[in-house]
Structure 1
Amino acid sequence: MRITKRTNIAMRVLMHCAANPGRLVTKHETASCCHVSENHLAQIVNQLSQLDFLDTRRGRNGGFTLSRGPDEITVGEVFRQIEGESSPMVCLAGQDENCPLFDACWLRTALRDATEAFFSHLDTIKLSQLIDGNAPLQEMLRPLEHLSERRQACPV
């Protein structure tokens, strides 16, 4: 299964917010740390806000923060909301019923089961588990004033 760039960036944003509890993080610092354009990031932040993962505040002192605790957000929930329950094959999505093997294909069943197992496993992983006790990641996601010391070291 392939994960889209949008989901990858969404997870980076959520991890950045989780690693900086109790304060608004800015679009600028998140874009710098996550190596994405501020315009692309703004679209993803907007989507995460609409999906109730982020609270946002506009203006000069604006930014965003998690709308709920990192122990209340699962990776599976984020992936489902951003990716949808996408299928690795068009026949699983019901888009290719013209396939001559459609009615007898066990591969379709196997891949559907694997996709369900993938999401089920991600449902067990909380955002907090990606951050808590992960000192190297927390260091990479420190506030912007420390960013100049490690500009190239933030691969999240």
Structure 2
Amino acid sequence: MRLTVRTNLAMRALMFCAINADRTVRKAEIAEACNSSENHLGVVINMLGQTGFIETTRGRNGGVRLKVAPEALSVGQVFRVFEANVPFAECFAGSENHCPLTASCRLRGHLSVALEAFYSALDGVTLADLVRDNSGLRTLLELETA
């Protein structure tokens, strides 16, 4: 199993916002710290904003900040938003499924159970769990105060 780049960037951006919770951060700051292009990050930020995880402000003093408390945002919630439309295997791909075994194969049912267990495990992990008392992450992501 491999996460999409968008899911990975979403978690990086959320951790960046959580570490810098006392301020509005700019997309360029997140992109630099998270080793991402601003364009790719822009798509992720847009999706995070649409889900209500962050709030965005346009303009000269604009940027992004968490809209949800880190304690209330589970990693499972984020992963479901970004991974839900990515089929785990061909048999999950709807009209794109061309597997000749689909009608008789029992693997899909077991994969569904395993995927739900994966998401359920991540439901128990919050954004706060990832950043709380994490001095290494703080060193990497915290912006200097002006």
**1:39 Cα shift?**
1.8
Name 1:104's counterpart in structure 2: 104
Aligned residue for 2:34? 34
* Match in the other structure for 1:132: 132
Hey, what does 2:14 align to over in structure 1? Answer: 14
How many residues align structurally?
A: 145
Moved over 6 A (4+): none
Q: Is the 8 A contact 1:23 1:65 kept in 2?
A: yes
1:151 aligns with: none
CA distance in 1, matches of 2:95, 2:51: 27
Cross-structure match for 1:56:
56
Match for residue 113 of structure 1?
A: 113
Deviations 1:117-156, CA, capped at 9 Å, x for gaps: 11111111101000001110111011067xxxxxxxxxxx
**Offset, 1:34:** 0.6
Q: Are residues 96 and 105 of structure 1, via their aligned partners in 2, closer, same or farther at CA, if it must alter by over 3 Å? A: farther
Name the CA shift for 1:97/1:7 in 2 (closer, same or farther; >3 Å). closer
Aligned-partner Cα distance in 2 for 1:10–1:79: 9
Distance (whole Å) between structure 2 residues aligned to residue 97 and residue 50 of structure 1: 29
Amino acid at match of 2:120: S
Give the whole-Å Cα distance in 1 for the aligned partners of 2:59 and 2:98: 53
Q: In percent, how many aligned pairs have the same letter?
A: 46
Distance across 2 between alignment mates of 1:98 and 1:40: 31
C-alpha distance in 2 between matches for 1:96 and 1:140: 41
Structure-2 change in CA distance of 1:68 and 1:97 (3 Å):
closer
Q: In structure 1, what residue type is equivalent to 2:136?
A: P
Verify the 8 A CA contact 2:10 2:45 in the aligned structure 1. yes
Offset of residue 66 of structure 1: 0.3
What CA distance in whole angstroms lies between the structure 1 residues aligned with 2:113 and 2:93?
13
Other-structure match for 1:45: 45
Q: Deviations over 1:15-35 (max 9, x none)?
A: 000111121011111111011
How much is the aligned-residue C-alpha RMSD, in angstroms?
1.8
Residue 67 of structure 1 is matched in structure 2 by 67
After TM superposition, the structure 1 stretch with the greater mean CA deviation from structure 2, 7-16 or 104-113, is 104-113
